[in-house]
Amino acid sequence: MVGTTTETRSETLENVLAAAASAARPLAELPPRDRAALLTSVAEALDANAAALVPLAERESNLPEARLTGELARTTFQLRQFATQLREGSFLDVVIDTADPGHPLGPKPDLRRMVVPLGPVLVFAASNFPFAFSVAGGDTASALAAGCPVVLKAHPGHPELSRRTAEVVTAALADAPRGTFALAEGLETGRAALLDPRIKAGAFTGSVTAGRALSDLAGSRPEPIPFYGELGSLNPAFVTPGAVRARGEEIASGFVSSFTLGAGQFCTKPGLLFLPSGHGLADRLAAAVRGVTAAAMLGERIRDGFTSSLGALADVPGVEPIVSPAVEEDGRVSPGLFGCTVPTLLANRDTLLRECFGPASLVVTYEGNDELFAAADALEGNLTATVHAGPDERDTAGPLLERLRDHAGRLIVDGWPTGVAVSPAMHHGGPYPATTSPLHTSVGATAIRRFLRPVCYQNAPQELLPPPLRDRNELGIPRLVDGRVTTEHLTAKEN
CA-nearest of 252, 247, 232, 188 to 382 is 232
Q: What are phi and psi for residue 304, nearest 5 degrees?
A: -65, -40
* Cβ within 8 Å of residue 400, ≥6 positions away: 238, 372, 373, 376, 387, 389
CB of 264 to a copy of itself, least distance (A): 20
- 166 versus 401: smaller Cβ distance to a copy of itself: 401
Query: Within 13 Å, how many C-alpha atoms sit on residue 123's CB side?
Result: 33
| Residues whose CB falls within 8 Å of the CB of residue 265, separated by 6 or more in sequence, listed in order | 128, 297, 298, 302, 357, 358, 359
Identity of the residue, 53 or 183, whose beta carbon is nearer to a copy of itself in the bound complex: 53
Q: Which of 58, 60, 267, 340 is catalytic?
A: 267
- Closest CB to a copy of itself among 225 and 292? 225
Strand (E) or helix (H) holding 96: strand 95-97
CB burial of residue 312 (10 Å; 0-12, 13-18, 19+): middle
Nearer to a copy of itself, 323 or 481 (CB): 481
CB of 262 to a copy of itself, least distance (A): 15
The nearer residue to a copy of itself, 398 or 476, going by C-beta atoms, is 398
Please, which residues bridge with residue 117 across strands?
452
Marked catalytic residue, from 230, 355, 371, 380:
230
322 close to 363: Cβ distance less than 8 angstroms: yes
Shortest Å distance, C-beta 325 to a copy of itself? 29
Pick between residue 95 and residue 234 the one whose CB is nearest to a copy of itself: 95
CA-CA distance, 133 to 74, in Å (whole number)?
Answer: 10
Rounded least distance, CB 406 to a copy of itself, Å: 7
Task: Tell me whether residue 230 is one of the annotated catalytic residues.
Answer: yes
Of 8 and 134, CB closest to a copy of itself: 134
State in angstroms the smallest separation of the CB of 448 from a copy of itself: 12
Active site residue 267: yes
Q: Distance between CA 374 and CA 458 in Å, rounded?
A: 52
DSSP code string of 18-74: HHHHHHHHHHHHS-HHHHHHHHHHHHHHHHHTHHHHHHHHHHHH---HHHHHHHHHH
User: H helices within 196-233, ranges in order?
Assistant: 208-220
Which of these, 407, 455, 452, lies nearest to 226 by C-alpha position?
Answer: 452
Contact 266, 258 (CB under 8 A): no
Rounded Cα gap, residues 93 and 113, in angstroms: 8
Cβ neighbours around 116 below 10 Å, total = 18
Report in angstroms how near the CB of residue 223 gets to a copy of itself at its nearest. Answer: 5
- Write the burial class of residue 10 (CB in 10 Å: 0-12 exposed, 13-18 middle, 19+ buried): exposed
Q: Which is nearer to a copy of itself, 72 or 360 (CB)?
A: 72
- Active site residues per annotation: 230, 267
